[in-house]
Amino acid sequence: MRTLLVLRHAKSGHDEPVPDKQRTLTARGRKDARRMGELARERDLLPNRVLCSTATRARETFELFSEGGELEGPADFVDALYLAEPKAIVREIAARGGKSERVMVVGHNPGLEELVSELTQEHTELSTTAFAECALPIESWAELDLGTPGRLVSILRPKDER
């Protein structure tokens, strides 16, 4: 059994005159990302391996999540995760997950929402900074594909935790 943790990037600014990939987090987004890390630590849901989109808002979300969760260790920043579809996300997890028990992906909608839906057969909204825990009946990440019959164990949203 493996656990996939899915973290959607925190709230980012839309008024900034920068390209989409370079948008940064708002004050609320920074607060929510740090809080989600704290909650993950409190619930013993910290990852062993992290794959993160290269977008600024995803990187900042991961850094603040790490601070809040007191998470140590590097992440793999993967350009293919920027606005990725579920198939591309699964491909990266399968290739990079290794022997880790818990892999966390930090990225974007609609891809992350669709990924959780395809793996668990449950449609759930992933608001900004939503954190989902999915149990997957696999022994190795290399076995993961979109047909893997997972289970949505929990979902944390900032608005529920304020």
Is the pLDDT at 161 greater than 80, yes or no?
no
Question: How far apart (Å, rounded) are the C-alpha atoms in residues 140 and 118?
Answer: 19
* Omega before residue 110 within 30° of 0, cis: yes
pLDDT tens-digit series, residues 26-39: 999 999 999 999 99
Q: Which class would CATH give 2-161? A: alpha beta
pLDDT value, residue 95: 97
pTM of the model: 0.95
Is the pLDDT at 19 greater than 70, yes or no?
yes
pLDDT tens-digit series, residues 84-125: 999 999 999 999 999 899 999 999 999 999 999 999 999 999
pLDDT tens-digit series, residues 40-97: 999 999 999 999 999 999 999 999 999 999 998 779 999 999 999 999 999 999 999 9
Q: Identify which has the larger pLDDT, 19 or 131.
A: 131
Q: Which own/partner pairs from 118-126 qualify as long-range (CB within 8 Å, at least 24 positions apart)?
A: 118/86, 118/146, 119/4, 119/146, 119/148, 119/149, 119/150, 120/150, 120/151, 120/152, 121/149, 122/152, 124/152, 124/155, 126/6, 126/8, 126/155
